[in-house]
Amino acid sequence: MSEKRKPLKILFVIETYFTNNNGTSISAQRFATELRKRGHEVRILTVGESGAPEIFGLEEYKLPVFGNLVEKHGFKFASHDKKVIEEAVAYADVVHCFMPFALEHHAKKEADRQHKPATAAFHIQPENLTSSINMGKVKWINELFYKFFNRWIYKRFTHIHTPSRFMANEIIKRGYKAKVHPISNGISPDFKYRKLPKSPEFKDKILIIMVGRLACEKRQDVIINAVPYSKYADKIQLIFAGRGPEYERYQKLGKKLKNPPIFGYYNKEELMDVLAQCDLYVHASDMESEAISCIEAFATGLVPVISDSKTSATSQFALDGRSLFKAGDPKDLARAIDYWLDHPSEKDYMEKIYAKSAKTYSIDNSIRMFEDMLYEAIDEYEKGTAKKS
């Protein structure tokens, strides 16, 4: 359907666009790049300078009380400059709002005022926010956030993009009325089955990696605590690719291991080289709307070991129970790790099966589905406007 339609002028509304330590921002960057390749214009309403032609820049809004915590997570809230928001919305054929915050609220109001169609995305779980204040597992508070997000912004939209079927189900069962589009954030075709010999310093080591922010809900602590329970403890070298507020705590916790974890921040090419040398990928997060980093890892040929948390979508990627462990349980994680290390022929076979399964999550498929959602929203809006006139 989308290939036959005219190119669009698309406005992305997102507080923090210029960062590589936030899954939603990375997704926005990737989608913008791919949509431009397909002939669309994409401009961004975000915190930053307006010098670049594709940016409608806003000043940062310093959040009282929690400002330092927000900064530690590499996030910035945007001010609500009415003139800039008006100009940005006026440019667009369709507006797409990534987050449930004040900037998106104001952008949607302006889109309504200018009679422009708009869609939303549900990338941020309430648990991601409450975990930052150690209340991620307090159900009633998370439920309040789900209700608030709906009343504040999502009930104003007729189309919502979620990065997984899991997240679609989460908002549907809480009464969100919009049409929900489960569309993976998608992975680059560069992430494919690939193996490299280990660097000399890792020649005799078992390399286990997790990619993601160093945040309490990501549970890198579970991986560190699992190592002593493994029969391979003396040979395991953990690699944590990411930055975040828990760096010092995790670094201190890791000192107890014979091989203390390596903490690094890698660009795309560097990350692919690191993944190509690793033996296993572990994703221990308690809360996750998709975890694109996990898909990228098994696309390169790493068997994943994934938390079975009920508030994480990532367990959907496990092809069988051998790749799951009990959420938050270091002993059970060690059991799962040891299983794969004890059965190298099974691991070698499943590496190729996992790499093949990753093709389902290609960025090309995701962009086509995302385009179709935008065109559907535009068509419905135009038909609705015609009926009212």
| 310 and 335 both lie in a single domain | yes
| 147 and 86 both lie in a single domain | yes
| 120 and 215 both lie in a single domain | no
The Cα-based distances of 118 to 207, 224, 382 in angstroms read 45, 44, 12
Q: Is residue 215 part of a domain?
A: yes
Q: Is residue 194 part of a domain?
A: no
Band (pLDDT 50/70/90 cuts) for residue 64 is low
| 355 and 366 both lie in a single domain | no
Q: Is residue 280 part of a domain?
A: yes
CATH of residue 213: 3.40.50.2000
pLDDT value at 386 more than 50: no
Total-model pTM? 0.84
pLDDT value at 79 more than 90: no
What is the model's pLDDT at position 21? Answer: 67
Band (pLDDT 50/70/90 cuts) for residue 285 is very high
| 371 and 354 both lie in a single domain | no
State the residue range of the domain holding 278: 200-360
Question: What does the H/E/C string look like for 299-332?
Answer: HCCCCEEEECCCCECHHHHCCCHHHEECCCCHHH
Q: Is residue 58 part of a domain?
A: yes
What is the model's pLDDT at position 59? Answer: 86
What is the model's pLDDT at position 16? Answer: 86
pLDDT digits (tens, 9 = 90+) for 232-246: 999 999 999 998 889
* Average confidence (pLDDT) over 250-254: 97
| 9 and 153 both lie in a single domain | yes
Q: Name the least confident of 100-109, 126-135, 232-241, 321-330.
A: 126-135
Query: Backbone phi, then psi, for 42, in 5-degree steps?
Result: -130, 125
| 17 and 135 both lie in a single domain | yes
| 325 and 372 both lie in a single domain | no
| 161 and 243 both lie in a single domain | no
| 176 and 102 both lie in a single domain | yes
What is the model's pLDDT at position 381? Answer: 87
What is the model's pLDDT at position 387? Answer: 38
| 164 and 246 both lie in a single domain | no
| 14 and 141 both lie in a single domain | yes
Q: Is residue 195 part of a domain?
A: no
Q: Is residue 193 part of a domain?
A: no
DSSP character string of 142-171:
HHHHHHHHHHHTGGG-SEEEESSHHHHHHH
pLDDT digits (tens, 9 = 90+) for 332-359: 999 999 999 999 999 999 999 999 999 9
- In one letter, which amino acid is 288? E
Q: Total domain count for the chain?
A: 2
* 209 touches 236 (CB < 8 A): no
